[in-house]
Amino acid sequence: MSAPLQFPLQVRFRDVDAYGHVNNATYFTYLEDARSQLIHTSLGSAAGGGATAEQTFEQLVGEENFVLAARHEIEYSAPLLYRPHPVHVEIWVTRIGSSSFDFGYRVAEDDGSTVYAVASSSMVLVSRATGKPVPLSEAQRHALETWLGGDVPYRPRRDTAPAQG
């Protein structure tokens, strides 16, 4: 299991809602920003299977394919207020399928002292020509395996009674 990659993101004044904290929907933008930074970062040691260290995951996807979000889940832990210093988003891979993979996230202080949210996203590699999922290449799989980490640490749900009706 590798350490998550961490990206700083600045809380913008427009991110804050009438309640004085970052709006829940804005977190999805933070997750998207972290994903974008990851896929545009040089692979470095995550390069394998014919890829070079200078390439990015976006370049491995190529112009004939794109990666679509298929599912998001988020759990909020503490209110995030406007502040002059960045919040940090950790990102890692939690699962690799044949044409899909999942990211895990933690939105927190850089030292981990306060966690504002944890989240996950399911992503699918899709052909631009057909709109259908395509298998991950060896180079893509290698990069994703390099970023592989544990499950997202969601809080356990309390048992609830089945719905009546």
Q: Give the chain as a DSSP string.
A: -PPPEEEEEPPPGGGB-TTSBB-TTHHHHHHHHHHHHHHTSB-GGG--TT--TT-BHHHHH-TTEEEEEEEEEEEE-S--B--SS-EEEEEEEEEE-SSEEEEEEEEE-TTSS-EEEEEEEEEEEEETTT-SB-PPPHHHHHHHHHTB-----PPPPPP-PPPP-
For residue 48, the model assigns a pLDDT of 86
What's the confidence (pLDDT) of residue 93? 97
**Across residues 107-134, what is the average pLDDT?**
97
pLDDT bucket at 164, cuts 50 / 70 / 90: low
Q: What local confidence, expressed as pLDDT, does residue 161 receive?
A: 63
pLDDT band at 38 (very low <50, low <70, confident <90, very high): very high
Q: Which fold has domain 5-146?
A: Thiol Ester Dehydrase; Chain A (3.10.129)
Instruction: Report the pLDDT value the prediction gives residue 160, as an integer from 0 to 100.
Output: 65
Residue 20: pLDDT above 90?
yes
